[in-house]
Structure 1
Amino acid sequence: MKKSLMLYLFLLAILMNIFTYMFYSREVKFEKERYDKTTKRLRDSINLVSGKLAEADYFSLEHNENAQNYFDNTASGGKVILYEKLIPAVTEKLLDLNENPNGNPYTGQDIIDGKKFIINKIKVLNHRWIIADYSNGELWGEVLLKYFVDDKENITFEVNQSWLYQK
C-alpha cells in the first residue's frame, strides 16, 4: 500500500510538473506575441504621426530648401542669413510690436471696444510669407504678412490680408 501511494504521488508530481511547464511556456509565448503586436501597432502610430507632421510642416521655412537658399547671397557678394537665427528674430520683432498702446499694427485691425489686438502665434512659411493668429480677448483672426530682410538684416513687415472672425 505504501508503494502504491508513493507511485501515485510520484505520478501526480510528474503530471503537475508537466502542466506547470506547459502553462508557463505558453504564457511566455502569449506575452511575446502580445509584445510584438503592441510594438507593431506603436511603430505604425509613430509612422502615421511622423507623416502627418511632415505634411503639416510642408509650408515651413525650416523644411523648404528653396526658401532657405533665398537668404544665401554669397553669389551676389552679400552675406548669408541663417534661417535658424532669422525665424526667432522675425518672431521676436513681430511680438515686440504687441507692446504698442494701439495694439500690434500688423494685425490689420484697429482698437475695438477699447481692446487692442495683439499677435499670439506666428508661423514663418517661407522666405517671404508669415501667417499669424491675433486676438483682443473677445475677437480673433488671422493675418497673412509679407516680410522683407535687407542687406543690413533689418526686418520690415507688410500686411497682405487680414481676417477677423465673427463672434
Structure 2
Amino acid sequence: MKNKIVLYLFIFSVLMLLFMYMNQKRIYEDQETKINQLTEKSLALESELDSLKNVNFDLNYFTLLGNDNAMTYFENFGLEAGFMEQLVSEHLYAQNQGSEDNPLVPYTGTDGSMKINKVRFLNHRWIIADFTDGTNWGELILEYELDENQDLTLRTIASMVYPPLR
C-alpha cells in the first residue's frame, strides 16, 4: 500500500514536471516569437526614420535655418538667423492689421482684405508667402534686406493668384 502511494506520487510528480516543462516551453517560444516580431518592427521603423531624416534634410536645404551660408551672412552682422526670422515674420504679420489689404500683396481682396497667412524663409534674402482674402488664394515671393541702420526693407518680387474653384 505504501509502495502504491509512493508510485502514484512519483507518477503525479513526473506528470506535473512534464506539464510545467511544456507550459514553460510554450511561454518561452511565444516570447521568442514576440521578440523577433518586435525586432523586425523596430528595424523597419529605424529604416523609415532614416528615410524621413533624409527627406527632412532635403526639405530643410531651402530654409534659412538649414542653410549655413545664409546663417553665416547674418552672423557676420552680429545677428542670429532665428532672430531675423522672428523679426521679419512679425513685421509681415503686423502689416495684416486692420481691414486694409496687406501692402505687400499686389492684389485687392474681393471678399475681404488680402492677408499673409504663412511665410517660409528660403535663405538670407528671399521669402515665399501664402495669402488670402478668404475666397481667393495666392502666393508671392518677397525679398527682404536689413541695412546697416537695422531698417528692414521688404519688396515683392513675384506673385500669383490661383484661379477660383468651380
- Per the TM superposition, whether the score is higher than 0.5 is yes
* Equivalent residue letter for 2:11: Y
Q: Does 1:161 align with 2:158?
A: yes
What is the aligned partner in structure 2 of residue 54 from structure 1?
57
* Equivalent residue letter for 2:118: K
* Equivalent residue letter for 2:155: E
Of 75, 84, 87 in structure 2, the residue corresponding to residue 86 of structure 1 is 84
Point out the more displaced range, 122-131 or 24-33: 24-33
What is the aligned partner in structure 2 of residue 71 from structure 1?
74
Aligned counterparts, 1:9-158, within 5 A:
9-73=12-76, 79-113=77-111, 115-158=112-155
- Matched residue of 2:61: which SS? coil
CA distance in 2, matches of 1:136, 1:124: 22
CA distance in 1, matches of 2:13, 2:78: 85
CA distance in 1, matches of 2:71, 2:85: 11
5+ long unaligned stretches in structure 2: none
Identify if the C-alpha distance between structure 1 residues 71 and 6 changes in structure 2 by more than 3 Å, giving closer, same or farther: closer
- Matched residue of 2:96: which SS? helix
Point out the more displaced range, 31-40 or 153-162: 31-40
What is the aligned partner in structure 1 of residue 9 from structure 2?
6
1:137-159 Cα deviation digits (max 9, x unpaired)? 01111001111110121111111
Alpha-carbon contact 1:108-1:143 (below 8 Å) kept: no
What is the aligned partner in structure 2 of residue 76 from structure 1?
none
What number of residue pairs does the alignment pair up? 161
Alpha-carbon contact 1:147-1:158 (below 8 Å) kept: yes
The alpha carbon displacement at 1:100 in A equals 4.5
The alpha carbon displacement at 1:2 in A equals 4.1
Point out the more displaced range, 94-103 or 5-14: 5-14
- Matched residue of 2:150: which SS? coil
- Matched residue of 2:78: which SS? coil
The alpha carbon displacement at 1:63 in A equals 1.2
Alpha-carbon contact 2:126-2:142 (below 8 Å) kept: yes
Alpha-carbon contact 1:102-1:110 (below 8 Å) kept: no
* Equivalent residue letter for 2:52: V
Point out the more displaced range, 146-155 or 29-38: 29-38
The alpha carbon displacement at 1:111 in A equals 2.9
CA RMSD of aligned residues (A): 1.7
The alpha carbon displacement at 1:50 in A equals 1.6
- Matched residue of 1:99: which SS? coil
Alpha-carbon contact 2:75-2:81 (below 8 Å) kept: no
